[in-house]
Structure 1
Amino acid sequence: MDSLTQIVLGAAVGEAALGKKVGNKAMLYGAIAGTIPDFDVFASHFADTVTALSIHRGFTHSVVFSVLFAPIFGWLVSRFERHKSFKDWSWLFFLAFITHPILDAHTTWGTQLLWPLDLRLAFKTIFVIDPLYTLPFLVCLVLAMFRKRTSHKRRFYNTLGLTISTAYLALTFLLKYMAFGAFQEALNNQNIDYKNLDVRPSPLNTVLWSANVETKDAYFLANYSFFDTQPILFVSHPKNHDVLGNLAENEKVQRMIAISEGWFTIREKEGSLYFNDLRFGLLGLNLNSENFVFQYRIDVDDDKVSFVEMPKTNRDAKKLMAELWKRIKGN
């Protein structure tokens, strides 16, 4: 999830763990702890694109990290805070560390919660930024913040925020189930013979859902809003995997295929090959577009292969936002 959401979650968890004893410092340290797992993004400054993608939401988002580092941070904080309980501070950091990847596991990218197992948990029920999850949570946290640490209302507001956020997260599973059923029914009605169906929420909401459908030689993309009145439209994008040729055996290419979980297309443009990761969809709602959120140019120099991520602009984001609201209301 986005940084603000993880800060709010960490602060609320910190308050639940230690707020009655140390007041707002519990929120402060919880908020700090809630951001620490995302420090793995700095790997992009020191590693190539493929390695950085492999590291992201790996070790720092695991149970192992939470268990090993919570006592270290707990001991450090207990050395200079008035509240000296190593156990209490360790418990706060553990809860903030472990809830971060659990929440991230509900997004499309997922987490390696069970690292070192090569298993990425991705329930794909919520977008990385979802105001309906974050804003009620944030309001409750702010209300709790301005109450005395021993106040019953402080605990009530914090518990209410945690309850609302958890209930919404649970609701997203039901919404995904309903969207999955709608896509499945449409595929059957249109006699599309498919191998796999992958469903995820569109940006900022859980009303409009997107689907990737794998067939033998192509992927079909589609959108569905709960307010739709017209049949679901599926648009085909050729896989073009054969265009890779011998590059398909390259170690970095193999790693990128694994990272994308096999949901990728290859596009040839102006003498270069482009790797499109389909899991995150398009930079817009035009299903015929080739402008994918994550698109990488494959550079080959003396048998050395590298992936270069294509930049996104503010114009792309503004266009998506304009299209999104209109599409959510139905077709």
Structure 2
Amino acid sequence: MDSITQAALGAALGGAVAGKVLGRKALIAGAVLGTLPDLDVVIDYGTAVANFTQHRGFSHSLLVLVPLAVILGWLLHRWQPRLPYRQWLLLTGLVLVTHPLLDSLTTYGTQLFWPLGRPVAINSIFIIDPLYTLPLLVPLFYSLWQPGRVRPLIAGLVLSTAYLGWTLVAQQIITNRIDQELAARGLENAPALIQPMPFTSLLWRATVLAGDQRLEIVTGLFDGDIPLSVERFPRNPSLAAAAAGLPEGQRLLWFTRGFLAFEQRDGRLLATDIRLGLPGAHPFTFVLAEDQGNGWQPASSYRLPRPAVGRQLLTALWQRASGEAPILCLATLEVRPVNEPCS
């Protein structure tokens, strides 16, 4: 999740555990601890792909954070001994562990058990969702004004956690709808990724890898009996095979579970993470190799500038999520009536 949300969650947990004893200091300690795992962004691993895939690595591993919580709890108890060590340990443990658990619900992926296993990405909530963050922020501001009042913080934590449960329910509803469509097309075994569209849990996007094509489906909870609109995007198996032969291409395939698009442009082999953003506005595109006339040669990967997103995106998302427009075409970010499917 975004840094503001993680800091708000940490502050709310800190206040709920220790606010009666420490007042505002508990909120500040929780906020600082809540942002601590994300400080790995300052580490340079040498290449753009390495930085991208190492983020949310060791600093988000439960195998690292649990022992760290024990140590920090002891240090903080030395700083403020009037709060018992058990409560400090509860505070540090809750804040440090909930950070990666929350991140694992997003699409980016979190290496919860680094250095073991693959990243965990449940894909049930967008990285910025006001309906999750606001129940944390409102009581937090109140507690800053009235330190020591923990009930509003607990209520905010209950509401925000309930919202996380709702997103999982909504995801399952959409998954059932998508599964029926894929079964009808004979694609029930095709790799599929189902995730919420930006800033909402009412509108969802399914990305399906179907041979030499990628299918994109946008569907919402208010769609009723509206037929699903399916957009098709070409895949390039030859470029995918070339990328799979490169060390950084292999790393990207591992990190994204294969949800990549490959392109040849100006003698460069590009790989785009199609899980994040939207077609035409994916934020992570990397140069993996260059062709100087003697085949693809590995390059020190670098990231291309993020495409600009126009204001029409937010308008289109609202129209589609609210049910005002039945179809949203991802290729053009245009809304259309039901009788005008995307080309």
Give TM class, smaller chain.
Answer: 0.7 to 0.9
> Counterpart in 2 of 1:235?
231
C-alpha distance in structure 2 between counterparts of 1:2 and 1:49, whole Å = 20
When structure 1 is superposed on structure 2, of 206-215 and 233-242 the one drifting more is 233-242
Identity across aligned pairs (percent)? 34
C-alpha distance in structure 1 between counterparts of 2:160 and 2:267, whole Å = 48
Render the CA deviation track for 1:101-134: whole Å, top value 9, x for unaligned: 1111110113111222122221110000000011
Counterpart mapping for 1:249-328 below 5 A: 249-282=245-278, 289-300=279-290, 303-313=297-307, 315-316=308-309, 318-328=311-321
Residue correspondences, number = 319
Match of 1:119, SS?
coil
Segments of structure 2 that go 5 or more residues without pairing to the other structure are 327-343
AA paired with 2:39?
A: F
> Counterpart in 2 of 1:286?
none
Give the TM-score normalised by the residue count of structure 2.
0.85
> Counterpart in 1 of 2:333?
none
> Counterpart in 2 of 1:140?
139
More helix by share: 1
C-alpha distance in structure 2 between counterparts of 1:128 and 1:114, whole Å = 21
Match of 1:279, SS?
coil
User: How far apart are residue 46 of structure 1 and its match?
Assistant: 4.8
User: How far apart are residue 270 of structure 1 and its match?
Assistant: 3.2
User: How far apart are residue 90 of structure 1 and its match?
Assistant: 3.5
Counterpart mapping for 1:38-187 below 5 A: 38-43=38-43, 45-81=44-80, 83=82, 85-149=84-148, 154-187=149-182
When structure 1 is superposed on structure 2, of 8-17 and 110-119 the one drifting more is 110-119
C-alpha distance in structure 1 between counterparts of 2:291 and 2:192, whole Å = 36
> Counterpart in 2 of 1:216?
211
The RMSD of aligned alpha carbons is: 2.3
Match of 2:89, SS?
helix
User: How far apart are residue 221 of structure 1 and its match?
Assistant: 1.0
> Counterpart in 2 of 1:5?
5
Render the CA deviation track for 1:237-260: whole Å, top value 9, x for unaligned: 222131255443221111111111
Segments of structure 1 that go 5 or more residues without pairing to the other structure are 283-288
Match of 1:199, SS?
strand
User: How far apart are residue 192 of structure 1 and its match?
Assistant: 5.2
User: How far apart are residue 191 of structure 1 and its match?
Assistant: 5.5
Give the TM-score normalised by the residue count of structure 1.
0.88
The answer to whether the 8 A contact 2:244-2:253 is kept is no
Match of 1:280, SS?
coil
AA paired with 1:20?
A: K
